[in-house]
């Protein structure tokens, strides 16, 4: 299916309805019985699913990092002062501005082929994309460098696929269960909890990324002001996690710390309780 999110390319996602544009029409197809399952890039899925829909599973994560793509320059540091970098993401915009305030960050929309074509035509000196998308489409050779998540934090759910079904289709939930990867699911549950608690959407420049090792989950998050009027706010938390409720509680704790640091989002008083 080609959704409105794929068709409207002359405006930023934050101005035409957010990443939910990629999801809503697939949900309509599920509701009408034209499709039985919908496969989403989880970072595009709104934090709250409509009533009657569930995530049947979250699959094992691909590379969650952002990728630096350029025909002329090997890394972000090699870009000359004032170079033009393309991205459709407010998150990437504020993180790039924090790393290189001298760069010109310009909007970049379209599917992957369109974005790469615009780069090759010389409209940009470099573009920043999700490494997972390039790898899944056999375009890993276009990656010149991958960003360290410590400095370029990924979006909540980046690199993970989620499969959505109608809530009453327990038969499909059971059939899809072998595809579920529990460590990934716990990790992205915490990441999405950060975003949910902050009122996260495509119009919020928010990053949240987790790593789970030995049952201990570490969550790092960042919030930035796209107008450059406030400094980048970062927060982190870690702890043992075995259930989705514990993962979400950890994400909520990170959101509280972001808010306390000056990030503009939902008040901690309105956060879900453990």
In terms of C-beta density within 10 A (0-12 exposed, 13-18 middle, 19 or more buried), how is residue 33 classed?
exposed
Q: List, edge to edge, every strand of the sheet that includes 161-166.
A: 38-41, 161-166, 53-58
The backbone region for 163, taken as left when phi is positive above 0, alpha when psi lies in -120 to 50, beta otherwise, is beta
| Pairwise CA distance, residues 250 & 210, whole Å | 10
**44 belongs to the catalytic site:** yes
- Residues in contact with 229: Cβ distance below 8 Å, sequence separation at least 6, in sequence order: none
- Residues in contact with 96: Cβ distance below 8 Å, sequence separation at least 6, in sequence order: 76, 85, 87, 103, 105, 128, 152
**Closest to 145 measured CA to CA, from 64, 70, 63:** 70
Phi, psi of 34 (to 5 degrees): -75, -15
Give yes or no for a contact between 114 and 133, defined as CB atoms under 8 angstroms apart. Answer: no
E strand or H helix that includes residue 55? strand 53-58
| 35 Cα distance to chain centroid | 25
Tokens found for residue 15: 């101005």
Catalytic residue among 6, 10, 44, 274: 44
Active-site residue numbers? 44
């Amino acid at each position: 299916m080609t959704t409105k999110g794929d068709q409207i390319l002359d405006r930023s996602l934050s101005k035409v309805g957010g990443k939910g544009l990629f999801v809503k029409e697939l949900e309509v197809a599920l509701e009408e019985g034209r499709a039985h399952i919908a496969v989403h890039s989880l970072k595009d899925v709104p934090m709250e699913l409509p009533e009657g829909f569930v995530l049947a599973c979250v699959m094992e994560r691909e590379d969650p990092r952002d990728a630096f793509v350029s025909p002329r320059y090997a890394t972000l540091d090699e870009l000359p002062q004032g170079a033009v970098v393309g991205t459709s993401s407010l998150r990437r915009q504020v993180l790039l501005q924090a790393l290189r305030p001298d760069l010109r960050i310009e909007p970049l929309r379209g599917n992957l082929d369109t974005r790469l074509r615009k780069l090759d035509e010389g409209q940009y000196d470099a573009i920043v994309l999700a490494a997972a998308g390039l790898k899944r489409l056999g375009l890993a050779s276009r990656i010149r460098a991958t960003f360290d998540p410590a400095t370029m934090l990924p979006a909540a759910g980046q690199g993970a696929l989620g499969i959505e079904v109608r809530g009453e289709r327990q038969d499909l939930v059971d059939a899809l269960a072998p595809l579920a990867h529990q460590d990934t699911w716990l990790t992205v549950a915490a990441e999405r909890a950060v975003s949910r608690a902050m009122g996260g959407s495509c119009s919020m420049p928010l990053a949240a990324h987790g790593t789970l090792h030995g049952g201990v989950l570490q969550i790092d998050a960042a919030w930035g002001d796209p107008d450059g009027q406030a400094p980048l706010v970062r927060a982190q938390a870690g702890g043992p996690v075995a259930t989705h409720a514990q993962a979400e509680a950890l994400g909520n704790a990170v959101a509280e710390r972001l808010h306390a640091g000056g990030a503009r989002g939902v008040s901690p008083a309105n956060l879900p309780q453990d």
